[in-house]
């Protein structure tokens, strides 16, 4: 969709002000990724409104926050260097854990009455269940649930769920980010609903934190799970 | 509460602070931990203030502050595209993160997209740099807005309120609030361009 310059500028103003919310906000972010004029409009509004930052008083954060930041920053910096080492350790540990996990961890078998199980994402290599993907039958939502076992996934990345078309001809459509723990519900747009209905499989890719910056998978596809029929 | 950090923020001039913050961000791009620590001492009060005001939960704001500073550390190499507007860059990383967190809390919507600051965009935005002179112009333009327009715009920007929440607080209909904000933004833009 092409936006007139004035409409784009108004969207940019509301994006920066914070009054553009929900899917409209997400859509504006997507527009900015492909339209330099939109991004420029956002930057100009950021500058125009920056004087309002003076309205916000400084507040001293608790003393231990800096230490936590340093730990996280170092973890991120060393990831690349330590990846091969940690991966070896990880696989060795995972192999041992898998035996325990299978016997100790029971995936909750109860099913909420308004949920239809679509897929269970399993790490076949480690023989562990990671997530359950369920459709909320009385609303256009997905419920994404992480296994009760802590997921051994790199927290420096996000894990994004995609609907893969049956023919493979249509591009994957994002269905949201997988939770690291617990569960969350993701609203489905009409486009996402169509993609899901035409899909035979879902896939999970590793993406930069916050999700794919392009709207298509950019990282490796780690897991693929068939969608339950009926 | 006047913190040691905020005192430090107040005693150095706008230009000196901007230049110092820029230099520290550049050093962060080279993964200089001392630079990150000094940057944190210099800006954490302001960023935490932004996060606490929008999120209204200190524990959540602390978590968000950690995320924001780690983002700055990881994305410092992208800062060149924003040169001259260091605090705007930093404050908006914090604001957009807070708005996303509010959205997640309220609507259970997935965070489907990285914030705009995650975009690797090499376009040079230095031409829209806000100098101290234009900052003064901005202050002057804000003063020309009606009291209602100013109030609503501040409640949206600084407090992270939606149109509906602002309407509830000022006890006026949502369309009225929308109109005040829209006209206020248009007036601000015209004033800044004149």
Q: Does A20 score more than 50 pLDDT?
A: yes
Q: Does A98 score more than 50 pLDDT?
A: no
On whether the CB atoms of residues B72 and B90 are closer than 8 A, the answer is yes
> Shortest CA distance to B112 belongs to which of A226, A17, A25, A198?
A25
pLDDT in tens, chain B (194 residues): 344 444 444 445 667 788 899 999 999 988 899 999 999 999 999 999 999 999 998 999 999 999 999 999 988 887 776 677 888 899 999 999 999 888 776 543 333 333 333 332 323 333 334 445 566 677 788 889 999 999 999 999 999 999 999 999 999 999 999 999 999 999 999 998 87
Of all helices (H) and strands (E), which one includes residue B61?
helix B58-75
For B95, the token pair is 């604001």
Cα(A44)–Cα(B91) distance, rounded to whole angstroms?
15
Q: What is the SS3 string spanning chain A?
A: CCCCHHHHHHHHHHHHHCCCCHHHHHHHHHHHHHCHHHHHHHHHHHHHHHHHHHHCCCCCCCCCHHHHHHHHHHHHHHHHHHHHHHHHHHHHHHHHHHHHHHHHCCCCCCCCCCEEEEEEEEECCCCEEEEEEEEECCCCEEEEEECCCCCCCCCCEEEEEEEEECCCCCCCEEEEECCCCCEEEEECCHHHHHHHHCEEEEEEEEEECCCCCCCCCCCCEEEEEECCCC
CB pairs under 8 A between A and B: 203
Yes or no, beta carbons of A29 and B113 under 8 Å apart: yes
User: Residues of B numbered 59-88 whose beta carbons fall under 8 angstroms of chain A's beta carbons: which are they?
Assistant: 61-62, 65-66, 69-70, 73-74, 82, 85, 87-88
Yes or no, beta carbons of B50 and A36 under 8 Å apart: no
Between A68, A177, A208, which is nearest B111 by CB?
A177
**How many degrees, rounded to 5, is the angle at CA A95 between CA A92 and CA A97?**
105
Percentage of residues in chain A with pLDDT exceeding 90? 13
Residue-wise pLDDT for A21-73, tens only, equals 888 888 888 888 888 888 889 988 998 898 888 888 899 999 999 999 998 88
Mean pLDDT of chain A: 76
Residue-wise pLDDT for B122-171, tens only, equals 233 333 344 455 666 777 888 899 999 999 999 999 999 999 999 999 99
On whether the CB atoms of residues B83 and B29 are closer than 8 A, the answer is no
Percentage of residues in chain A with pLDDT exceeding 70? 77
Q: Does A211 score more than 90 pLDDT?
A: no
Instruction: Say if the ipTM goes beyond 0.95.
Output: no
Yes or no, beta carbons of B142 and A51 under 8 Å apart: yes
Residue-wise pLDDT for A74-88, tens only, equals 876 544 333 333 433
- List chain B residues with CB under 8 Å of A76: 70, 73-74
The pLDDT-based confidence of A121 (bands split at 50, 70, 90) is confident
Instruction: Tell me which of A8, A12, A22, A56 to substitute to probe the interface with B (most B C-beta atoms closer than 10 Å).
Output: A56
Separation in Å, CA A112 to CA A26, A108, A117, A137: 30, 11, 10, 10
Q: What is the pLDDT of residue B108?
A: 37
Cα(A149)–Cα(A160) distance, rounded to whole angstroms?
19
pTM: 0.57
Cα(A132)–Cα(A137) distance, rounded to whole angstroms?
15
Residue-wise pLDDT for A158-196, tens only, equals 899 999 887 767 788 899 889 888 888 888 888 888 888
Phi then psi dihedrals of residue A119, to 5 deg: -160, 150
């Amino acid at each position: 969709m092409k936006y007139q310059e004035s409409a784009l500028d108004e969207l940019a103003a509301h994006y920066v002000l914070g009054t553009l919310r929900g899917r409209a906000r997400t859509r504006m972010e997507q527009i900015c990724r492909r339209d330099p004029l939109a991004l420029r409009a956002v930057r100009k509004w950021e500058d125009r409104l920056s004087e309002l930052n003076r309205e916000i008083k400084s507040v001293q954060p608790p003393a231990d926050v800096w230490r936590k930041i340093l730990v996280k920053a170092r973890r991120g910096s060393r990831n690349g260097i330590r990846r091969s080492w940690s991966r070896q350790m990880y696989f060795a540990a995972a192999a041992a854990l898998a035996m325990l996990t299978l016997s100790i961890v029971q995936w909750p078998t109860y099913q909420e009455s308004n949920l239809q199980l679509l897929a269970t994402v399993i790490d076949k290599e480690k023989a562990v269940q990671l997530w359950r993907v369920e459709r909320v039958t009385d609303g256009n939502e997905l419920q994404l649930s992480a296994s009760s076992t802590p997921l051994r996934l790199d927290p420096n990345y996000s894990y994004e769920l995609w609907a893969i078309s049956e023919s493979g001809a249509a591009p994957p459509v994002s269905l949201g980010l997988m939770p690291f723990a617990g569960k969350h519900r993701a609203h489905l747009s009409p486009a996402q609903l169509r993609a899901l209905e035409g899909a035979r499989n879902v896939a999970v890719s590793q993406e930069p934190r916050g999700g794919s910056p392009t709207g298509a998978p950019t990282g490796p596809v780690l897991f693929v799970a068939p969608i339950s029929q009926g | 509460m006047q913190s040691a950090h905020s005192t430090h923020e107040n005693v150095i001039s706008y230009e000196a602070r901007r230049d110092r913050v820029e230099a520290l961000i550049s050093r962060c791009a080279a993964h200089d931990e001392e630079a990150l620590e000094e940057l944190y001492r210099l800006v954490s009060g302001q960023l935490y203030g932004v996060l606490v005001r929008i999120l209204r939960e200190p524990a959540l704001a602390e978590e968000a502050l950690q995320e924001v500073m780690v983002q700055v550390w990881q994305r410092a190499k992208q800062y060149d595209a924003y040169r001259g507007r260091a605090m705007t860059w930093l404050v908006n990383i914090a604001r957009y993160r807070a708005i996303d967190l509010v959205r997640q809390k309220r609507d259970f919507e997935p965070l489907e997209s990285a914030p705009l600051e995650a975009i690797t965009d090499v376009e040079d935005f230095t031409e829209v740099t806000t100098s101290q002179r234009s900052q003064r112009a901005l202050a002057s333009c804000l003063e020309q807005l009606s009291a209602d327009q100013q109030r609503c715009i501040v409640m949206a920007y600084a407090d992270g309120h939606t149109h509906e929440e602002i309407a509830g607080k000022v006890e006026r209909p949502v369309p009225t609030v929308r109109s005040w904000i829209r006209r206020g933004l248009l007036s601000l833009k015209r004033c800044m361009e004149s």
